Amino acid sequence: MKGVKITKWDGDEKPNIEILKKGLDDEGLDYYTFVCSSGDYFSEHTHPNYEIRIVVEGMMEYGVADEKFVLGPGDRIDMEPNIVHTAKAFGSSKIVSLAAEK
């Protein structure tokens, strides 16, 4: 999909927050930890900058146009600025992700 890139975790070991943070550090990106609860829904919105989200714990479903993408631990979504999208948290009671902009 134009403007959106999904990268599924393919590491040899189970992803953990330290491994995922190191990847963002290696890219020279500033990031923060975003925590939400299962069932949280974020209606259509955009971000003014290039947005990166990496799931650490739980599951997130992102909707862009008519497509839906389900991300689990270690999976990453990169979105160009101003991409209209939705997000829904599910899986465990607490969903943790890392968020960065560039």
pLDDT, tens digit (0-9, with 9 covering 90-100), for 6-37: 999 998 888 999 999 999 999 999 999 999 99
Answer whether 83's CB lies under 8 Å from 46's CB: yes
Sheet holding 41-45, edge to edge: 41-45, 85-90, 59-64, 67-71
CA 81 to CA 4: how far, in whole Å?
A: 10
CA distance 72 to 8: 8
pLDDT in tens, 32-57: 999 999 999 999 999 999 999 999 99
Alpha helices (H) along 1-102: 17-26
Domains of the chain, by residue range, sit at 4-101
Options 2.40.110.10, 3.40.50.300, 2.60.120.10, 3.30.1300.10; CATH for 4-101 is: 2.60.120.10
